[in-house]
Amino acid sequence: MLVCKAVIDRLRTMILIAGLSLSLSAQEESGRALAAALDRVLAAGQTERARQALDEMLACPHVDLEVLLETGAKLADRDLFEMARAIFARSVSDYPQSFEARYNLALANFALGRFSEAQTTLDSNGVLSEEQHLSREYLRGKVYDALGQTDLAEKSFLAAFHGAPQQENYALDLGLYYLRRHLYAKALGTLKAAEKYHEDSIYFELGLGLAQVLGDDRSRAIATCRRILAKEPDFGSARLLLAAAFYLNGENQNCASETAAALRRPGGLPHLYYLHAASLLKLNSKEYAVMVHDLDEAKRGIPGCAFCYFEQSKVHQKMGDEGAAIADLEQLVTRVDAEFSQAWYRLASLYQRAGRTDDAAKALARFRSIKTEQTDLETEYLRKEFLSALGAEQAGK
pLDDT of residue 143: 95
pLDDT tens for residues 188-227?
Answer: 999 999 999 998 899 999 999 999 998 889 999 999 999 9
Residue type at 153 in one-letter notation: A
C-alpha–C-alpha distance, residues 323 and 65, integer Å: 67
In single-letter form, the type of residue at position 42 comes to L
Task: Detail the DSSP E strand segments found in 332-396.
Answer: none
Taking only the tens place, the pLDDT of each residue in 15-60 is 665 544 444 445 556 668 877 888 887 888 888 888 888 888 888 8
Per-domain residue ranges of the chain: 1-17+26-125, 127-233
pLDDT value for 265:
86
- 393 membership: H or E segment, kind and range: helix 377-395
Closest CA to 240 of 191, 215, 276, 214: 276
User: Is 90 a residue whose pLDDT tops 50?
Assistant: yes
Element (H, E) at 39: helix 26-43
Report the topology of domain 1-17+26-125. Answer: 1.25.40
What is the dihedral sign for C-alpha 83, 86, 91, 97?
positive
- The candidate with the shortest Cα–Cα distance to 143, out of 134, 129, 156, 162, is 156
Instruction: Name residue 357's amino acid.
Output: T
pTM: 0.79
pLDDT at 392: 52
3-state secondary structure 199-238: CCCHHHHHHHHHHHHHCCCHHHHHHHHHHHHHHCCCCHHH
Q: Which helix (H) or strand (E) holds 25?
A: none
| pLDDT, tens digit (0-9, with 9 covering 90-100), for 315-348 | 999 999 999 999 999 999 999 999 999 999 999 9
CA distance 25 to 15: 26
Matching fold, domains 1-17+26-125 and 127-233:
yes
Assigned fold of 127-233: 1.25.40
CB 276, CB 264: distance < 8 Å: no
The conformational region for residue 128 under phi > 0 = left, psi -120 to 50 = alpha, else beta, is: beta
